[in-house]
Amino acid sequence: MKKRILALLTTAALASTILTGCMGSEVTTTETQQKTVPQVAAPSKPTGDKIVIKAATGLTATHPAAIGLYEFEKLVEEKYPDRFDVQVYTDAQLGDDVSATQDVAMGNLELVVTSASPLVGMCPALKVFDLPFIVPNEAAADAIYDGEIGKKLADDLLPNGLRLLTYYENGFRNITNSKRDVRTPGDLSGLKIRTMENDIHLATFKALGAVPTPMAFSEVFTSLEQGAIDGQENPVSTIYLSKFYEVNPHVTLTGHVYGPHIVLMSEQFYQNLSAEEQAFIMEAAHQSALVNRSENRQMCTDYIQNLKDEGATVVELTAEEKQAFVDAVQPVYKEFVPQIGEEFVKQFQAVGDKFK
């Protein structure tokens, strides 16, 4: 089993990073990290009579994912002050998403907050996160991930030694460019838009008429400044904190892709807890997710106003304008849904449709 997990995670490491989320006071995310700490997590040992729960994230200490973990730490230690010592490690101190997730699966690390990319090898259904416009809004996201779909994905990961506790929020991606306001797919025609190296993302921007141009995140600002590319796509916070508005003053809130961060606990560790402790860990994780989502959404709202204050033109699409984008990407569904599973995608869409 351990060899199988390692192989799947190694394969997944070659897959594209799913999403960059709404961030705190600096830009350090799964996508933006150019270096990872060459540190292998060791099995946690009790400190005194307490059991250590190491909780890792590649994101900064001010990111909503870390804020969620600090809430989890507070809740667990308040309930079991003499039983558990929760230790939060940010900024990839215990490795990037792939290596930290591998450690959790192998039982060498208790908990990780990760993007979906290290997991698609063992759970292809997670590719659903990449489908454009499949999540219409935040209310739909909550219903999807806190409901039966979220449970199905959790069940799929369990045989690999990963107990999915809850879903934190990553965020909606939006488009910026240096040429013009974008209100229709036609406005993207011919624009070189930087994307991640992700088959579904590339197909999405081709369908919209743009010229998708994959490149490392670290190269984006300079490439925009020099005119090598015309635009890029990321959540509002990344747009603001990376100061893309300085070279890309046209911002369109397309919200074309939404994805969560996934909170995973070692199943080996989880099974060593009592039934009461297991139930509380699950509840504490869910409560921490509510804090995470609230923080993430408030930050995104604040950054939209910040962009306007900096002189950027922020286009908020009408329902009719957004539908034109949705219609344009339907060929992407025809190409990739068979790989994910048609019935599962229909189930996913059915929940989202209730919130349109």
For residue 216, name the pLDDT band (cuts at 50, 70, 90): confident
What was the pLDDT predicted at 15?
39
Query: Which of 17-21, 83-87, 186-190, 240-244 is predicted with the least confidence, judged by mean pLDDT?
Result: 17-21
The whole-model pTM stands at 0.81
Orientation of helix 138-146 relative to helix 148-157, angle to 10°: 50
Q: pLDDT (tens digit, 9 = 90+) per residue, 79-136?
A: 999 999 999 999 889 998 889 999 999 999 999 999 887 788 888 899 999 999 999 9
Give the 3-state secondary structure of residue 212: strand
What was the pLDDT predicted at 319?
95
For range 170-195, the mean pLDDT: 96
Residue owning tokens 């600090």: 70
For range 283-310, the mean pLDDT: 96
What was the pLDDT predicted at 197?
84
Q: Any idea what DSSP says for residue 36?
A: -
For range 302-311, the mean pLDDT: 97
Q: In what order do the strands lie in the sheet with 162-172?
A: 84-89, 51-57, 111-114, 258-266, 162-172
Q: pLDDT (tens digit, 9 = 90+) per residue, 257-278?
A: 998 999 999 999 999 999 999 9
268: tokens are: 């080996």
For residue 9, name the pLDDT band (cuts at 50, 70, 90): low
User: Distance between CA atoms of 36 and 110, rounded to whole angstroms?
Assistant: 19
Residue 334 has pLDDT above 80, yes or no: yes
DSSP secondary structure string for all residues of 84-138: EEEEEE-TTTT--HHHHHHHHHHTSSSEEEE-SGGGTTT-GGGGGGGSTTSS-SH
Q: pLDDT (tens digit, 9 = 90+) per residue, 55-84?
A: 999 888 888 899 999 999 999 999 999 999
119: tokens are: 């997991």
Query: Which of 11-20, 273-282, 297-306, 346-355 is predicted with the least confidence, judged by mean pLDDT?
Result: 11-20
What was the pLDDT predicted at 11?
45
For residue 36, name the pLDDT band (cuts at 50, 70, 90): very low
What was the pLDDT predicted at 44?
53
What was the pLDDT predicted at 256?
97
HSE (side-chain half, CA atoms, 13 Å) at 204: 25
Q: pLDDT (tens digit, 9 = 90+) per residue, 138-158?
A: 999 999 999 999 999 999 999
What was the pLDDT predicted at 121?
83
What was the pLDDT predicted at 32?
37
Please name the residue ranges forming H helices in the chain.
2-12, 64-79, 97-106, 138-146, 148-157, 199-207, 220-226, 236-241, 267-271, 275-309, 319-328, 330-340, 342-353
What was the pLDDT predicted at 30?
39
For residue 50, name the pLDDT band (cuts at 50, 70, 90): very high
Q: What are the Cα distances from residue 7, in Å, to 1, 220, 264, 279?
A: 10, 32, 19, 31
Average per-residue pLDDT in the chain? 88
